[in-house]
Structure 1
């Protein structure tokens, strides 16, 4: 078998190819330079690198539950006229037993309380002499002038005791006839301390008579 020989390119054709390629390159350079001069293409210094980040789509929000529908409001009932309740006696059949009425309980009226007996007013009159109920007592002093003059006599005093047993009042019920003897008896009895009189368990005032005999001996 015979080998085919590769065609031989003449030197002029090669030169023409290179000239065409150079012309195309020069034309591209000129066009790029003109575009850069017209600011149609950004300068290398002005070129900005853009970073693109893929953002995941937001998760779908769960749909909020719908509020439950409100129940329909009840319609107001029409007002009915007020009814009066009247108690009626039940109707009993002849076969139903009827309880006999309860006997009336007699009302016992309480007897009126007896009025309290009022306590007698005024002091209690002692039956005996005052000296009987007076443990603290002293005899009257005989006046010296009455001794010299020989004055004697009997003095009877009316004495009033208070509820504490002290002499509240003393007066001459019967005079001795001599003023000095009467005053000596009054001065002595005013110092006496006596036991209070009792009425219904309470201490009360009392009155009594007390005699004094003024006698000179020798």
Structure 2
């Protein structure tokens, strides 16, 4: 066999390179077609700019019209009627009476009766003098009212004081009610004074004028250890 020539080998290499390049181009085109959707998503969106040739119409707003001035109120003038002063009446003309005849009697009217003065009130009867009042008494010598007995327990405990009794005395001088007006501070002393006055005391009854009447009287009863 004969060895291939240099020119033939050279053409074979060129043909191989053309085939390889064509295959690369076809592979690149295929890859580009596959990657086109991805590239479209990656590319920023396109904006279309349109130039407006027509200018927008501006609405003209009419300025507010001022309100017409209100008419001023018309003051009503009150026309007062003119006061017409009455003309003074002419003074009456006094005509002198003709002198009476000397022989004619002069008649005079009787004087008008004057009001009678009111009758003086009748003198009232003299009021009787107020009758003197005298309170009941318990210290008359003839009464001989005994002192209350000193309770032994109070004496041993050193209890002493003054009890004020409020007593209703009858018209006969007997004690009807014996109440404690102010305590001595010790119930035993108060009870001893109250029981003694109610059972043993007699009084000079109160008098209104000459009449004996029932009345109330305050009597102090003192308990003292020094007596």
TM bin, normalised by shorter chain, reads 0.3 to 0.5
TM-score normalised by structure 2 residue count: 0.39
TM-score normalised by structure 1 residue count: 0.41
